Amino acid sequence: MTVPGAKGWRVLVTPTSYGKTDGRLKTELEAAVGEVIYNTTGKPLRSAELARLLPGIDGYIAGLDEIDEAALQAADRLKVIARYGVGVDNVALAAARRMGIVVTNTPAANAVSVAELTVALLLSLARRIPEASASTHAGAWPRLTGLSVAGKTVGLLGFGAVGRQVARRLAGFDCALLAYDPYPDEAAARALGVALTSQAEVVAHADFLSLHLPLLTATRGLVDAAFLQQMKPGAFLINTARGELLDESALAAALQSGRLAGAALDVFSLEPPDPANPLLRLPQVLITPHCASHTDGAMNAMGRMALDDCLAVLRGAAPHSPVNLA
């Protein structure tokens, strides 16, 4: 779909939720540029698909597309990639910088929504809510025993924007909060009653361990068999960050052996996951379709920040949230 506008710029928009809950994001963009091209595939674009669309594009509001160097080689006019979200691990940042393409993101725009889903998954694991609901729908009236979060220890690996919002929401649950972050916010930790400690201590003591780390070379595959062996027996793992942080086969083995009691995953290394992925067959695994940021609040905030930074760069102004500038 293309939309005529007032200026000469052509802008590609690939997140399918862009403007979904606030139509002004589309109308403002369409009024500001000459043409808007929307992604109609319903999913993130692969490198080859993106390469076919980028020629003649000036601005790009990007979802979880495969923005590698091969795709960028097709960009003959591109000035800005405004990521609709915080992660830029799918963007060839060095190549973009060499080509003079500014990359921006939307830090903290979805933090509250991701934190809300994290807490929802934690409570669902503790109280076996999906199992109770499914059994009751099937005509049973089960007497299921759950766990109280009060008195338990929740560990946060990563105490950035999302980790802090999770801690804020759990502060009233009378649980112990431990967190590890390589660059910890000590003032926030004190205010939220969070004990900052080492990664090893968080992993060893958490009854519920929640991942909130970015995907970096140092964190890719962090949660492997050795890591899982260090977790408290009977603990639960929650991942609303990046699927590539964990070894899915190792997690399946830890769950099948009873080493871990359960897991909740909003993200996978391959999305959607392969139907043969053993995690899909384990009843103690709760799975959601990478929807942590799919709320009206998060989509509106991400859309507004991406729109503003995209137009700022096209107009020759400084973006609010650049990630690849010197």
Supply the DSSP symbol for 90: T
71 vs 64: CA distance, rounded Å = 14
Query: Token pair for residue 230?
Result: 């260090």
Supply the DSSP symbol for 238: E
3-class state of residue 275 by DSSP: coil
List 259, 290, 294, 304, catalytic entry: 290
110 vs 104: CA distance, rounded Å = 15
Active site residue 242: yes
| CB-based contacts of 243, cutoff 8 Å, min separation 6 | 265, 267, 268, 269, 270, 271
194 vs 210: CA distance, rounded Å = 14
- Contact between residue 51 and residue 30 where contact means Cβ atoms under 8 Å apart: no
3-class state of residue 296 by DSSP: helix
List 271, 281, 315, 320, catalytic entry: 271
Query: Token pair for residue 20?
Result: 């979904």
- Contact between residue 261 and residue 142 where contact means Cβ atoms under 8 Å apart: no
State the CB neighbour count (10 A cutoff) for residue 215.
Answer: 19
Active site residue 294: no
326 vs 71: CA distance, rounded Å = 23
Supply the DSSP symbol for 133: H
Query: Token pair for residue 10?
Result: 């052509």
Active site residue 143: no
The letter for the amino acid at 235 is: A
CA 79 to chain centre: 25
List 128, 164, 242, 244, catalytic entry: 242
Pairing verdict, β 260-265 and 235-239: parallel
Residues with active-site annotation: 242, 271, 290
